[in-house]
Amino acid sequence: MKQWVVGLTALSLLFGAGTVASVGAQDEEKSVEKGKDKDVEEIKKPPMKEESGSGTGGSGYSIPCPSVVQYGSYPCPAPVVSYNYRYVTQYQQRARTICEYVPVTTMVDAVEITCEEVKTPKTRRVIYCKEVRTPKTGKRCYYKPVTKTVPQKVCVYKWVDDVVQQTYYKCVPKKPREETRYTYECRPTQTKKTIEVDQCETYTVKEPRTCSYTYQDVQAVTKYYKQVIQSPCPPDPCAPAVPPQVVCVPYTAYQCVPKTVVHKYDVDVVKTRTVKKPVDVIICGYETVKKPYTVTIQEYENVKVVENVKVKVCKPVIETQNVTICEYEKVEEPYTYEEITYKEEPKDEPYTEITYKEVRKPVKRPCTTWQLQKRVICETVPVQVLVAEPCYSAPSPSCYSPPAAVVPGPTCY
C-alpha cells in the first residue's frame, strides 16, 4: 500500500511539472513573437541533452521486465511495481534584457579654418657705408741691431799632462795539477728465463634442457538443470493442490582445460678453462759500470799591482779674449700711410610684405559616439525536473520455459 501511495504522488508531481513547462514555453513563444518586431535577437536552441540515460533520462541502462506467461490454466503472479525518482535536465526558453554600447554616427556642424597669403608692396630706407681712403704722413720708431768687438775674461777648459797613481789586481796562473775522477755508464743486459703462463682453452659439454608449453584442450562436460513439469489435466477444484514435479535434465557443455606438455633434450655448451703452459722469455735489464778518467785542473790567483801612469786631465783656465756682442739702437724714420673711413649713404628700396589671413568656413563632418541601448535576447536555460520511473519486479522462475543453456534469468535495474 505504501508503494502505491508513493507512486501516485510521483505521477502527480510529474504531470504538474509538465503542465508548468508547457505553459511557460507558450508564454515565452508569445513574448519572442512580440519581440521580433523590436529587433529581438534569438539565440539558437542547443540540442536536447539529458544528464544520463536515454529517452526521458534513465539512470544507466534498463532491461524490460518479462510479460505474464500462462502454462496450462495457471497464470503467473502479477509483478510488483516500484518507483525510482531522479532529476532530469530540461532546456526551456527565457527572455532576458541586456545593455550594450552601440556606435552611432551623425553629421555635426564644424568650422574649417584656413590661412591665406596676402602680399603688400612697401618701401623701406636702407643705409649703405662707403669706404673713403685719405693719404697721410707720420713717424715710426724701431730698434736696429749693431755688432761690436769687446775684450772679456772667459773660462776655458784645456788638456794638461798629469801623473796619477793607479792600483789594480792582476790574475796570475798557478802550477797545474792532475785529478782522477769517475763516471758511471748504464749498459743493457739480457737474461733467458722459463715461466708458466695461464692460457684459456674451450671444450664442449652436453647439458640436459627441459621445454614446456601450455595449450587449451576442449572437453565435453555433462551438466544438469532443473525442469518443472506441470500436470496436463485440469485440477479438480475439490481436490487439494498438486505440487509441480521437478526433474533434472542433463545437457552437454564444452569447456576449455589447460594442458602442459614437457619436452627434454640435450644442448652442447661451450665452456672455458685455464691451463698453465711453460714459455721461454728474455728479461731485459740494465747494469751500472764505474769508469775512471784524469782531469787537469788549472788554478789562478789575484795579485795587487800599484804603478804611476801619465794621463791627460782637462782643467779650467781663465784668459782674456775679444768677444763680438750685438746691441740694439733706436732709429726714427718718416713714412706715408692711408687712413680709411666709412661714409653713410641712405637709399629707398621697394619690397613686398607677406602676411597671412585666417579664413573660417562652415562644413558638415561625421561624428561617431557610443550610446547605451537595451536589447532583448532569447536564451535556453537548463531546468531540473523530478521524474518517477516505474520498475516491475520479476515473477518466480516457474513461469518460464526451461533455458536451452545455462543463462541467468532476467532482472530489473
pLDDT score, position 253: 81
Query: In this structure, are residues 264 and 209 in contact, taking their beta carbons and an 8 Å threshold?
Result: yes
pLDDT score, position 32: 44
Query: In this structure, are residues 176 and 297 in contact, taking their beta carbons and an 8 Å threshold?
Result: yes
Q: Are strands 41-42 and 81-173 parallel, antiparallel or unpaired?
A: unpaired
Place of cell 544520463: 52
DSSP-derived secondary structure letter, 397 = G
pLDDT score, position 222: 83
**Whole-structure pTM value:** 0.22
Q: Report the alpha-carbon distance of residue 263 to residue 213 in Å, rounded.
A: 9
Q: Does the CA dihedral 135-139-141-145 come out positive or negative? A: positive
Q: Report the alpha-carbon distance of residue 138 to residue 337 in Å, rounded.
A: 8
* One-character DSSP codes across 42-57: EPPPPPP--SSSSTTT
The three three-digit cell numbers of residue 101, written as one number = 554600447
Q: Tens of pLDDT along the chain (413 residues)?
A: 555 555 666 666 666 555 544 545 455 555 545 444 444 333 334 344 333 333 333 333 344 444 444 444 445 556 677 778 888 888 888 888 888 889 999 999 989 888 889 899 999 888 888 888 999 888 888 888 888 888 888 888 888 888 888 888 888 888 888 888 888 888 888 888 888 888 888 888 888 888 888 888 878 888 887 777 766 666 666 666 667 777 788 888 888 888 888 888 888 888 888 888 888 888 888 888 888 888 888 888 888 888 888 888 888 888 888 888 888 888 888 888 888 888 888 888 898 999 988 889 999 989 999 988 888 888 888 888 888 888 766 554 444 444 444 444 444 33
b/e per residue, 292-321, with b = 16+ CB within 10 A? eeeeeeeeeeeeeeeeeeeeeeeeeeeeee
Residues making up the chain, counted from first to last: 413
Nearest Cα neighbor of 378 from 100, 22, 21, 31 is 31
Q: Report the alpha-carbon distance of residue 358 to residue 354 in Å, rounded.
A: 14
395 three-class SS: coil
Place of cell 542547443: 46
pLDDT score, position 411: 42
Kindly tell me the number of DSSP H helices and DSSP E strands found in the chain. Answer: 1, 5
Measuring CA to CA, how many Å separate 173 from each of 176, 295, 298, 302, 303? 8, 17, 7, 9, 10
- The Cβ of residue 59 has, within 10 Å, a number of other Cβ atoms equal to 13
